[in-house]
Structure 1
Amino acid sequence: MHMATYIGRTLIRGVGLLAAVIIVTFVLVQASPVDPVEAYITAENPVSQEQREAIAAYWGLNDPPLERLGKWVSALARGDMGTSMYYRQPVTEVIRVHFMNSLLLMAVAWVLAGFSGFVLGVVAAACQQTKVDKFIKVYCLLIASAPAFWVGLLILMVFAVWLGWFPIALGTPIGKEAAAVTIGDRLYHLVLPAVTLAVTGTSQIALHTRQKLIDVLNSDYAVFAAARGETKWQIVYHHGLRNILLPAVTLQFGSISELFGGSVLAETVFSYTGLGYVAVVAGTKLDLPLLLGITLCSGFFVFAGNLIANLLYPLIDPQIREGMAHE
């Protein structure tokens, strides 16, 4: 019952959070100095003043802001996110097509970043004050201060341009029909963007895991275990992993928002047509229906990740499980 109540309250807060995100996004778009009609048309295809007015009337750009937002919200209640001004397709269809590409990219990068960060943190803590520890710390600090697009460009230049091991861009081979694209082709084009996201997301988990494990190794029960003859790696396995797993899971699921933001840069660098790439198009073209739809989906995606992390806590830590049972 306590878990059901917690989930219910969290969902209510999530609805309020998504509503706030939608309102803030709408206000920022309205405050943008860019003319939506200018963003809609191209310089190569100039239009007359009458055509500009017809375009504005067709998309409802002359309506009051609150009326536009109200129409979008009422349509959303019916399951309709509107029509994309740039793609001329329903927003749900545009998101559906590109979200699967982003989901695969972020899932692979998320697993790689979490696993590699956790392993590096454990190794650094177990080898504290050695060359291995110093190397891992320097590596993490350099990666943490490096922009994601710079890391992506560096990886692209080395592994795609110089070595030629991977394709330079796109999510599928050029000139190949969609029906003929195999899973191997998609994974082959996925490697570099996923590695870019994984590398940039490793440092925080590694440094935090390292510090938490060092605290465990310096604790009284770890010292007592060492006095009983246990090796350092036995202490890490028997006493350290369970204690550092909870904060690692917290960081891992909390990094979903950063992962989504990094995917925008990675997809732009590698021309990987995922949801991040579409978000850039929607922002530069002031495609309000598409931008609101992407904001709603990304907000829900981040909220779901944090909710899953909170639900996993009782499974990892028995103390939390017992505390919830007594409440």
Structure 2
Amino acid sequence: MYKYIIRRILIFIPMLFALTVIVFGLAKAAPGDALTGQMLADPKVDPLVYEKQREALGLNDPVPVQYWRWLSSTAKGDFGKSLVFNGRSVAELIEARFANTLYLGLFALFITIIVAIPIGIYSARKPYSLLDYTATGFGFLGLAIPNFFFGLIVIYALSIKLGWFPAQGTLSAPGMTGFAAFTDRIHHMILPGITIGLAGTATYMRYMRSEVLDVLGSDYIRTAKAKGMSDRNVLYKHTLRNALIPIITLMGFEIGALLSGAVITEQIFQYPGLGTLFISSVTNRDFPVVMAIALILGLLILIGNLLADIFYSIIDPRIRYD
């Protein structure tokens, strides 16, 4: 297993390099820059002023030179300075919002797991029951309804009409600390967390039902039952261990997908995280911030897949990588 982990890490390095090329290339292919937006906003300013600023920022340098400069700085943890937010460092902007997005992503993943896996298991053990049909219908709706539309529905129903949850922000009042701040933050995360976790919950539930049904029909499960093993032991000792393998694969993608899915959801709920920062940076063509956030999200997806591959050997000892 250790040889496999080392090989996966070695593969991870060129994939990370390819990610930096893609992120930088897409940013450079986008039309205009932050100075172009400023020029359109204030046409009275002499264009030579903006041209001098581009020269000072190195935006007129050859693309390979710009890429190497950006890659060297990024490798040191320096993402440069924002072109819009009064020259503040990109790392400072991301650090101020990353925790909010991370908490929201983990909260959405927690909701997904505690809802999807038990319902998926029950649907497999009691196929074609009322709950199974209900869960199937919910699964199709969860996959069909876009997150932004579902977010607007829950805001209208649970916030505006019923007033159960706040529709925006992270805290009810500034300066809150301790347990009160923790509970209030959870209260604010419920609506965006449900919205982000909707599609994931539907997907996990369908995968869990399918895998448990498949494993329950295996010969070794019938043998275990014939030997007198209780249904509980068959389920938790044999069935789940094999049925969780595709779930781990999904979770590897879900780490980055949850955070990237928060880009639109955070905008709907005015949640101050990476999503709102990303949207405002794209709108203002603040490409240093855009590239940094895109790189971080891509890196999280790569790390998630690396961890998923490693966990395979823990869940299923039959898997060998030698």
Structure 1 Cα separation of the partners of residues 272 and 84 of structure 2: 15
Report the alpha carbon displacement of residue 232 of structure 1 after superposing the two structures with TM.
Answer: 5.5
Deviation per residue, 1:162-188 (Å, 9 max, x gap)? 1111112122336x3587992333222
Equivalent position of 2:117 in the other structure:
118
Amino acid at match of 1:309: A
Equivalent position of 1:15 in the other structure:
13
Q: For the structure 1 residues 198 and 51, does the alpha-carbon distance in structure 2 shift closer, same or farther, using more than 3 Å as the test?
A: same
Amino acid at match of 1:79: G
Structure 2 Cα separation of the partners of residues 230 and 11 of structure 1: 41
Equivalent position of 1:51 in the other structure:
49
TM-score (norm 1): 0.88
Equivalent position of 2:31 in the other structure:
33
- Say yes or no: does 1:105 pair with 2:104: yes
- Say yes or no: does 1:210 pair with 2:202: no
Structure 2 Cα separation of the partners of residues 280 and 13 of structure 1: 32
Amino acid at match of 1:98: R
Amino acid at match of 2:215: V
Report the alpha carbon displacement of residue 27 of structure 1 after superposing the two structures with TM.
Answer: 1.7
- Say yes or no: does 1:287 pair with 2:286: yes
Structure 2 Cα separation of the partners of residues 188 and 244 of structure 1: 33
Q: For the structure 1 residues 209 and 236, does the alpha-carbon distance in structure 2 shift closer, same or farther, using more than 3 Å as the test?
A: same
Q: For the structure 1 residues 58 and 164, does the alpha-carbon distance in structure 2 shift closer, same or farther, using more than 3 Å as the test?
A: farther
Unaligned runs of at least 5 residues, structure 1 = none
Which structure 2 residues correspond to residues 151-300 of structure 1 after superposition, within 5 A? 151-173=150-172, 176-177=174-175, 182-225=181-224, 235-300=234-299
Structure 2 Cα separation of the partners of residues 202 and 126 of structure 1: 19
Structure 1 Cα separation of the partners of residues 16 and 282 of structure 2: 19
Deviates more, 1:222-231 or 1:29-38: 222-231
Report the alpha carbon displacement of residue 101 of structure 1 after superposing the two structures with TM.
Answer: 0.9
Asked if the contact 2:33–2:287 (Cα under 8 Å) also holds between the matched residues in 1, the reply is no
Percentage of identical aligned residues: 31
Amino acid at match of 1:82: G
Equivalent position of 1:66 in the other structure:
64
Asked if the contact 1:114–1:252 (Cα under 8 Å) also holds between the matched residues in 2, the reply is no
Amino acid at match of 1:57: E
- Classify the secondary structure of the residue corresponding to 1:33: coil
Structure 1 Cα separation of the partners of residues 158 and 35 of structure 2: 41
Report the alpha carbon displacement of residue 133 of structure 1 after superposing the two structures with TM.
Answer: 1.1
Q: For the structure 1 residues 184 and 45, does the alpha-carbon distance in structure 2 shift closer, same or farther, using more than 3 Å as the test?
A: farther
Amino acid at match of 1:90: S
Q: For the structure 1 residues 228 and 130, does the alpha-carbon distance in structure 2 shift closer, same or farther, using more than 3 Å as the test?
A: farther
- Classify the secondary structure of the residue corresponding to 1:144: helix
Structure 1 Cα separation of the partners of residues 76 and 224 of structure 2: 61
Report the alpha carbon displacement of residue 136 of structure 1 after superposing the two structures with TM.
Answer: 0.7
Report the alpha carbon displacement of residue 221 of structure 1 after superposing the two structures with TM.
Answer: 3.5
Q: For the structure 1 residues 223 and 12, does the alpha-carbon distance in structure 2 shift closer, same or farther, using more than 3 Å as the test?
A: closer
Structure 2 Cα separation of the partners of residues 222 and 281 of structure 1: 54
Which structure 2 residues correspond to residues 59-98 of structure 1 after superposition, within 5 A? 59-87=57-85, 88-98=87-97
How big is the alpha-carbon RMSD for the aligned residues of Structure 1 and Structure 2? 2.5
Q: For the structure 1 residues 83 and 159, does the alpha-carbon distance in structure 2 shift closer, same or farther, using more than 3 Å as the test?
A: same
Equivalent position of 1:135 in the other structure:
134
Structure 1 Cα separation of the partners of residues 231 and 39 of structure 2: 65
- Classify the secondary structure of the residue corresponding to 2:318: helix
Structure 2 Cα separation of the partners of residues 301 and 213 of structure 1: 29
Report the alpha carbon displacement of residue 59 of structure 1 after superposing the two structures with TM.
Answer: 2.7
TM-score (norm 2): 0.89
Structure 2 Cα separation of the partners of residues 216 and 124 of structure 1: 14
Structure 2 Cα separation of the partners of residues 14 and 186 of structure 1: 35
Structure 1 Cα separation of the partners of residues 261 and 76 of structure 2: 32
Asked if the contact 1:126–1:233 (Cα under 8 Å) also holds between the matched residues in 2, the reply is no
Deviates more, 1:252-261 or 1:233-242: 233-242
Count of matched residue positions in the alignment of Structure 1 and Structure 2: 320
